[in-house]
Amino acid sequence: MTVYILGTLDTKGTEVGFVRDLLHEFGVATCVVDTGCLGEPTIAADVLREAIFEAACTALEAVRKKGDRGEAVTFAAIGAAKIVATAHARGDVSGVLSIGGSAGTTIGTAAMRLLPLGVPKLMVSTLASGQTRPYVGSKDILMLNAVVDIAGLNRISRTILANAARAMAGMVTFPVPVNHETEAQNRPLIAATMFGVTTPCVERARQILEQAGYEVVVFHATGIGGEAMEGLIADGMFAGVLDITTTELADELVGGILTAGPGRLTAAGRNGIPQVISIGALDMVNFGAPNTVPDKFKDRKFYQHNATVTLMRTTIDENRKLGEEIGQKAAAATGPTVILIPLKGVSAIDQTGKAFDDPAAREALYDGIQRTHRSVEVIPLNNHINDQEFAEAAAHQLLNLLDR
């Protein structure tokens, strides 16, 4: 097994060579992949840049001739991802380590995102202290802040790169055990979605499912959580889904910061996985601090969750659209599906006397589902979402679907 090291060897060759040599000292085999284009490599590569661009269905000389840096990075990312994914499929990749600035981070993480959960992925990046979601996505990528620009070796960069090499050596030398035949590791997996405002519901349902012999993996519905869950469902990791908290759909529809993208609430249906769907936290759209809320929403109803989280109440019209979307996506499912409706409120702050209590909005949400669900069973319950009875009903509905 081999650690693949990705870098542009015309500009980052010294740094790549430093990491490679340290890994060799630790007894770790390496494969250096040259993702550069314009200059000449300063160290020898195991995978030449010509092969990278060929894998992207172009040619190095054609890219050089055009002289478009953005296009070169795009092709390099495509080619590197294909090269690494193919090597992993052969069983050759024990981990991937990449070094770079914006271009190197784009290229390196493109390859990492194609690898499954558990394969060590370490990106030494000048962008690691900023917004990393475009690079990490829903994968278990470790971003290490380069602190200084990656432009030669100095006392700071040597320290950072040495730590990167040691971290990767540790991950590949002491991998996570996969053959422990324990009862817990053999239990079927259930995916569940939770927000702070739906925690009592999910925690009670989780207890019931675990008592029935399942292991429950809870995803925080913060955009990346839902995206990660959808990806792992698509990978076939789960026997069933308890999608209590579909709040990310509201952020996608209205323009909040916690969207999981348009693919949210599709993977289970596409893969035929049994699922129980509810409407948890669809009363809210998420923003950051108050000064981050777009001006077009200034007349809306807000709730200050904390100093950095501002919640905006969804309107009647938005709720109707959200209900229609849930009904449509449920109707497209190829596996057993049930929709549960808590008639007395969908979050901790959507109930009598609370900030987002709005019976008309809840009715519109229910009406939207009724318009589009087709033959999917919809069960309205005279409960709040966090009532124990609702949680127990959700868990038992999923158990019934799993038994079919």
Residues 107-166: tens digit of each pLDDT: 999 999 999 989 999 999 999 998 898 999 889 999 999 999 988 899 999 999 999 999
| C-alpha count within 13 angstroms, C-beta hemisphere, residue 34 | 24
Task: Provide the H-helix boundaries in 235-315.
Answer: 248-254, 267-271
Whether residue 242 has pLDDT greater than 70? yes
Q: What is the mean pLDDT of residues 9-25?
A: 96
Work out the pLDDT band at 38, boundaries 50, 70, 90: confident
Say how far apart CA 122 and CA 95 lie, in whole Å: 8
Query: Which strands sit side by side in the sheet containing 337-342, from one edge to the other?
Result: 215-220, 189-194, 240-243, 275-277, 337-342, 377-381
Query: What is the three-class DSSP state of 99?
Result: strand
Q: Tell me how far CA of residue 201 lies from CA of 32, 195, 208, 390, in angstroms.
A: 49, 10, 11, 7
Whether residue 176 has pLDDT greater than 80? no
Say how far apart CA 265 and CA 333 lie, in whole Å: 10
Find the distance separating the first CA and the last CA of the chain, reported in whole Å: 42
Query: What is the three-class DSSP state of 264?
Result: coil
Nearest to 100 by CA among 80, 125, 81: 125
2-173 fold: Rossmann fold (3.40.50)
Nearest to 273 by CA among 221, 237, 249: 237
Q: What is the mean pLDDT of residues 89-97?
A: 97
Whether residue 68 has pLDDT greater than 90? no
Say how far apart CA 101 and CA 96 lie, in whole Å: 16
Selecting from 3.40.640.10, 3.40.50.1820, 3.40.720.10, 3.40.50.12030, what CATH number does the domain 184-403 have? 3.40.50.12030
Say how far apart CA 99 and CA 83 lie, in whole Å: 17
- pLDDT at res. 178: 59
Work out the pLDDT band at 39, boundaries 50, 70, 90: confident
401 contacts: CB under 8 Å, gap ≥ 6: 240, 274, 275, 276, 336, 337, 338
Whether residue 236 has pLDDT greater than 50? yes
The overall average pLDDT reported for the chain is: 95
CB atoms within 10 A of CB 309: 16
Q: Read out DSSP for 174-192?
A: SPPP-----TGGGSPEEEE
- Which residues share a beta bridge with 2? 93
Query: What is the three-class DSSP state of 36?
Result: coil
Q: What is the mean pLDDT of residues 39-64?
A: 95
Q: What is the pLDDT of residues 377-386, one digit of tens each?
A: 999 999 999 9
Dihedral angle of Cα 326, 191, 333, 402, to the nearest 10 degrees: -130
**CATH 3.40.50.12030 residue ranges for the chain:** 184-403
- Determine contact, residues 322/361, Cβ cutoff 8 Å: no
Question: How many helices (DSSP H) and strands (DSSP E) are in the chain?
Answer: 14, 14
- Determine contact, residues 194/245, Cβ cutoff 8 Å: yes
- Which residues share a beta bridge with 194? 220
**CATH 3.40.50.12020 residue ranges for the chain:** 2-173
Task: Provide the H-helix boundaries in 56-154.
Answer: 60-66, 69-89, 102-112, 133-136
Whether residue 253 has pLDDT greater than 90? yes
Work out the pLDDT band at 181, boundaries 50, 70, 90: very low
**More confident site: 179 or 346:** 346
